[in-house]
């Protein structure tokens, strides 16, 4: 196949060629970045909470005074445990994808502001909560009975805690975190164990790298650990158990107010939390499909026009011995050339667009492998779009050459 005649023909249609190439370029830029955004959102949606979500639900009540906390806790725990199907009912202050209740900046030095580790989430859990969550311990030991200290104001004054691997690697890179100390103002924490994964309440609000900066703090019931309960049941029972539990609150503690909005199964909490991301993914994919569709239509339209314009020329070529395959390949090669010009421009544009997005949306760099993927997609699209008109061209009979138009 000779390229030269194709190039010569394209030169005579510089404007139209340029238009299609520009369209492809823009499509390429948008396509690469849209796919990248989709991939980012997908990664977010699949945030590993580290807990046994399918078997868990959370129930929250409020509207009671601190003096009533111990009594409310006792009544609620007993009442919830009595519900058929409940494997365990334990105290917790916050769960992944629920409201954030305790977060603070922690430091390597007591009361200091100089050696900041970062802002971490404190998950306060009563006896049994660690096991109920289904967290995976990778180093150190589980909390023992005397590790559960009362938290009068915020967290226990002197706590033995478990941190996530992500937090440990950030705070003490290359060292064993076991036995290490850290502080929040005057509150002291010592690391007794490391868990594999444990997401903070609102992982979205932080960098991806900080999504698991969570500290599990064994805490005795009462004080700031009251009103929110973690229910564990078999996955198939969770919905029903939560429904029964909500209904039972009125009987167990008629003077408190059930927090409908925050009492959900962990599965529902996750679904709700990532709702907007799912919408965004749908939208991005929708736009990509429409955009590719419009681009394909453009190619079909323009090639059809060219085929119509060149009927005589095609007839002459056929009469001079060109096969149908030759004509077909001519248009396919022509399309390949135009799309390639577009893609070359498009890759530059894609990086430019990525730079703009990075500036406004805290996005990382577009990984290089998106470019060949985008290029392949557009080459494929171009070939698919050109096939119809090219086939029609190849069916132009040689006899056309002998007729005047």
Partner 1 sequence: MFTYYLDLALRSLKRNKVLTALMVLAIAVGIGASMTTLTIVHLLSGDPLPGRSSVLFFPQLDPESPVSQGHTQPYPMMDYRSAVDLWSAHRADRQAIITSSSAKVRLPDSGQPPLMLGLLSTSADFFPMFDVPFQYGSGWSADDDAHRARVAVISAGLNQKLFGGADSVGRILRVRDTDVRIVGVLKPWRPTPLFYDPWSQNFSKTEDVFAPFTSSLEINQGNFQPYTCWHVPKDPRDMVHADCVWVWLWVELGSPAKVRDYARFLDHYADTQKAAGRFAVGSERVRLRDLMTWLTARGQVPDDVRLQAWLALAFLVICLFNAVGLLLAKFLRRSGEIGVRRALGASRGAIFAQCLVEAGVIGLLGGFFGWVLTLLGLWLVRHQPVDYAHLARLDTTMFLATFALAVCTSLLAGFIPALRASRVVPGWQLKAL
> Is position 220 an interface residue for partner 1 (rule: CB under 8 A)?
no
Q: How far apart are CA 362 and CA 243, in angstroms?
A: 40
Helix axes 324-361 and 275-309, enclosed angle (nearest 10): 150
Phi and psi for 340 in degrees, rounded to 5? -65, -40
- Cβ burial of 13 (10 Å; 0-12, 13-18, 19+) is middle
Residue from the set 11, 46, 153, 173 that interacts with partner 1 by CB under 8 A: 153
Tell me: does residue 251 bind partner 1 (CB under 8 A). no
299-316: b (≥16 Cβ within 10 Å) or e: bbebbbebbeebbeebbe
Any contact of residue 290 with partner 1 (CB under 8 A)? yes
Does 295 bind partner 1 (CB under 8 A)? Our answer is yes
CB closer to partner 1, 250 vs 376: 250
Q: How far apart are CA 191 and CA 217, in angstroms?
A: 10
> Residues 150, 236, 275, 364: which binds partner 1 (CB under 8 A)?
275
Of 168-176, 226-234, 236-244, 289-297, the window that binds partner 1 (rule: CB under 8 A) is: 289-297
Return the residues of window 73-92 that contact partner 1 according to CB under 8 A. none
Is residue 352 near partner 1 by the rule CB under 8 A?
A: no
Query: Parallel, antiparallel, or unpaired: how do β-strands 181-184 and 187-195 relate?
Result: antiparallel
- Assess 20 for contact with partner 1 (CB under 8 A): yes
Does 27 help bind partner 1 (rule: CB under 8 A)?
yes
Region of 219 please: left (phi>0), alpha (psi -120 to 50) or beta: beta
Can you spell out the DSSP letters for 169-182? HHHSTTS--TT-EE
Smaller CB distance to partner 1: residue 291 or 400?
291
Asked if 112 and 209 count as a contact pair (C-beta separation under 8 A), the reply is no
Size of the site for partner 1 (CB under 8 A): 56
Phi and psi torsions of 231, nearest 5°: -105, 135
Q: Does residue number 95 form part of the binding site for partner 1 (CB under 8 A)?
A: no
Q: Supply the minimum distance, in Å, between the C-beta of residue 332 and partner 1.
A: 19
**Site track for partner 1 across 301-330, x = CB under 8 A:** xx-xxx-xx---------------------
Site of interaction with partner 1 (CB under 8 A): 15-16, 19-20, 22-23, 26-27, 29-30, 34, 37, 62-63, 66, 104-105, 113, 116, 153-154, 184-187, 224, 250, 255, 257, 259, 272, 275-276, 279-280, 283-284, 287, 290-291, 294-295, 297-298, 300-302, 304-306, 308-309, 357, 360-361, 405
């Amino acid at each position: 196949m000779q390229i030269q005649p194709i190039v010569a023909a394209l030169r005579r249609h510089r404007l139209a060629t340029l238009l299609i190439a520009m369209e492809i370029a823009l499509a390429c830029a948008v396509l690469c970045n849209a796919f990248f955004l989709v991939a980012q959102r997908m990664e977010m949606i699949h945030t590993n909470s580290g807990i046994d979500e399918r078997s868990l639900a959370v129930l929250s009540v409020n509207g009671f005074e601190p003096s009533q906390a111990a009594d409310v806790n006792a009544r609620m725990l007993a009442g919830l445990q009595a519900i058929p199907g409940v494997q365990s009912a334990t105290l917790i202050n916050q769960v992944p994808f629920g409201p954030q209740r305790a977060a603070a900046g922690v430091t390597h030095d007591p009361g200091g502001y100089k050696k900041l580790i970062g802002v971490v989430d404190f998950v306060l859990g009563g006896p049994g909560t660690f096991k109920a969550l289904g967290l995976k311990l990778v180093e150190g030991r589980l909390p023992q009975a005397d590790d559960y200290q009362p938290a009068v104001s915020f967290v226990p004054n002197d706590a033995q805690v478990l941190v996530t691997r992500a937090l440990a690697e950030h705070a003490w890179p290359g060292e064993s975190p076991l036995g290490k100390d850290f502080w929040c103002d005057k509150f002291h924490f010592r690391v007794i164990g490391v868990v594999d994964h444990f997401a903070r309440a609102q992982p979205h609000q932080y960098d991806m790298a900080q999504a698991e900066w969570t500290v599990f703090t064994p805490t005795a019931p009462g004080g700031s650990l009251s009103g929110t309960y973690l229910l564990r049941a078999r996955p198939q029972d969770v919905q029903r158990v939560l429904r029964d539990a909500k209904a039972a609150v009125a009987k167990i503690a008629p003077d408190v107010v059930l927090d409908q909005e925050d009492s959900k199964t962990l599965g529902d909490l996750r679904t709700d939390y990532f709702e907007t991301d799912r919408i965004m993914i749908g939208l991005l994919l929708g736009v990509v499909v429409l955009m590719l569709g419009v681009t394909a239509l453009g190619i079909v339209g323009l090639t059809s026009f060219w085929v119509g314009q060149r009927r005589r020329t095609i007839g002459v070529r056929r009469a001079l011995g060109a096969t149908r395959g030759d004509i077909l390949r001519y248009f396919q090669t022509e399309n390949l050339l135009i799309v390639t010009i577009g893609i070359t421009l498009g890759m530059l544009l894609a990086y430019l667009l990525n730079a703009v997005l990075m500036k406004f949306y805290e996005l990382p760099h577009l990984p290089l492998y998106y470019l060949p993927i985008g290029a392949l997609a557009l080459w494929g699209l171009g070939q698919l779009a050109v096939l119809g008109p090219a086939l029609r061209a190849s069916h132009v009979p040689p006899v056309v050459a002998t007729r005047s138009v």
